[in-house]
Structure 1
């Protein structure tokens, strides 16, 4: 699940600015241990923040969903306008997409009465369609070359559906199947470990293993968040943290890690100029 050099010359490709010799750098971070740690933390925040806003904001599930979707749209506009990966903007977009993906799933199940089995299936199909269109258009699903607007659009659409799918699948396993939060967390952690084993021992492709792990980290983080924030009567650990403290705690850790990455640039792909196309 590592990455490769990811600069691309856009001249002569039919995408980007079309200026001769201009290189547009990859818009997403290098896949390192920092990437996976922050990703899991963002999924936890997505779950707890969605619950917090729904309970405390007084806007109702639909109102909170509209508000967070608007904030996400603004941040994505900023993300698309950047010329290269910027850790602060990128991870803010991921955190907001985590919240919005959770709210989309919750709206369907809580407000519209759609069964979790149905939402899990629908989001799984939607994600598969995005991947199919992405591959048909670009002939790759690699995140190491998110260096055109079209590829970035496919990337963020896929990310959104992974969060929505992970939310529904996690709620289905933890709640509907009655396994509880901590058992669900162990189950999804074991599934991720199996993917890593398949990648490094059995030769599963880097792209396939990345996206499977990306989906699985969503219910893993959500299960951890619910277990820490909920009282024992609701299947939680009973620490009394609640959604407020849990959200603040994990947001603080995310902020510290992102600042560290901004300073050290450990998640920046090595910059090499690509040769010009004739």
Structure 2
């Protein structure tokens, strides 16, 4: 059959990163902002994945809209599967990263043993197409796990965290130009675009206080979706990414085998340098702060709920109470990712109202600020303790009346 994947041009990488970003932000919007929940969102996108993958497999040629829609849905689905393991089942990110890396190695091993090639220029049979999409799904899950693990180790903000995968991709581009194996370089870069796109989405959507641009998940999704549609329309009309020829069956002969072997040493050195950077970042002061966050500090200077809320407009107190109750419900349901996102809404709303609320009663504002801070530390702890989260949220609800 005709090759049903696009040519690997600059357009391929641009739209791949766009799809990854909108997949991350759109999933967060449905899961957290709309309150659908992690498991329900995963079920929705699993069904969507089955539908769009059937559409892609049934197509007789490469159709940009169908192919990239499949990539977006695979991106979201792979992310959700990782989030379920981490947030709902409590699987450590180090373990999930290792498991997904092993799974990807198995997929590539079986694929190569059967087809003798992993090149995207050779996706011309049904088995190869199935192997390709299975590998893509696992790369998204692996990229999500390793990206989140990096953030957990380093404590970097969303903006800073973009730099590591971006730097590694630049190193891969340099390696490819120096003679590294094309197929290996492609798949390494493909994996890294997942944390790069996700970090971009977080950077655009996160509040300014968290190091983001504050656009929110809905606006971020809309901006990147428009960019994707514009790029897909351009590629559909120009056919700039259509593979005209087909690669012969089997693995293409290396242009310079000695240089390819030498570049393996280069890639190993890059990996060691990246690991060393992560180890160094992990031992910076944020590690101590994260450890302290495991046990929220007690709130001092207790006052009654009436004293805490009476100086402030009832509508504002009701807003904080609603967000707190929503966060508590998500914690009780085991949806830690949704709870973490919802508690950010509490932080944003409280910070936005500080200029109007604090002058009304500095004592009441300081007390509630301390209780909200305790909630933020409990919910955002690297290893959240559910009883501690519930205790902090219950205490805040009591103070809010």
Q: Which residue of 2 aligns with 1:212?
A: 188
Contact 2:19/2:75 (8 A) holds in 1: yes
Deviations 1:17-73 (A, max 9, x none): xxxxxxx21010011110000000111112111211111333310011010110111
Task: Return the match for 1:254 from 225, 228, 231.
Answer: 228
Cα deviation, residue 240, structure 1: 2.8
Q: Which residue of 2 aligns with 1:101?
A: 78
Higher relative contact order (CA 8 A, sep 6+): 1
Larger radius of gyration: 2
* Mapping of residues 140-179 of structure 1, within 5 Å: 140-179=117-156
* Mapping of residues 228-267 of structure 1, within 5 Å: 228-233=204-209, 235-237=210-212, 239-267=213-241
* Whole-angstrom distance in 1 between the partners of 2:154 and 2:118: 33
* Whole-angstrom distance in 2 between the partners of 1:236 and 1:100: 27
Secondary structure (helix, strand or coil) at the match of 1:267 reads: coil
* Whole-angstrom distance in 1 between the partners of 2:246 and 2:124: 14
Q: Which residue of 1 aligns with 2:87?
A: 110
Task: Return the match for 1:192 from 156, 164, 169.
Answer: 169
Aligned residues: 248
Secondary structure (helix, strand or coil) at the match of 2:162 reads: helix
Q: Which residue of 2 aligns with 1:7?
A: none
Cα deviation, residue 271, structure 1: 4.8
**Structure 1 unaligned spans of 5+:** 1-23
Contact 2:122/2:247 (8 A) holds in 1: no
Q: Does the alignment pair 1:55 with 2:32?
A: yes
Deviations 1:187-210 (A, max 9, x none): 111101111111111x11100000
**Structure 2 unaligned spans of 5+:** 249-401
* Whole-angstrom distance in 2 between the partners of 1:32 and 1:132: 26
Q: Which residue of 2 aligns with 1:226?
A: 202
Cα deviation, residue 88, structure 1: 0.6
Secondary structure (helix, strand or coil) at the match of 1:130 reads: helix
Cα deviation, residue 96, structure 1: 0.5
Secondary structure (helix, strand or coil) at the match of 2:109 reads: helix
Q: Which residue of 2 aligns with 1:180?
A: 157
Contact 1:47/1:225 (8 A) holds in 2: yes
Query: TM-score, normalised on structure 1?
Result: 0.86
* Whole-angstrom distance in 1 between the partners of 2:247 and 2:107: 30
Contact 2:3/2:123 (8 A) holds in 1: yes
* Whole-angstrom distance in 2 between the partners of 1:38 and 1:190: 19
Contact 2:3/2:246 (8 A) holds in 1: no
Q: Which residue of 2 aligns with 1:40?
A: 17
Cα deviation, residue 150, structure 1: 0.3
Cα deviation, residue 180, structure 1: 2.3
Q: Which residue of 2 aligns with 1:8?
A: none
Cα deviation, residue 179, structure 1: 2.2
Q: CA RMSD in A?
A: 1.5
Contact 2:208/2:214 (8 A) holds in 1: no
Q: Which has the higher helix share?
A: 2
**Superposition misfits of 4+ residues, deviation over 6 angstroms:** none
Deviations 1:251-271 (A, max 9, x none): 110000001111111111125
Contact 1:226/1:236 (8 A) holds in 2: no
Task: Return the match for 1:127 from 104, 107, 118.
Answer: 104
Cα deviation, residue 211, structure 1: 0.1
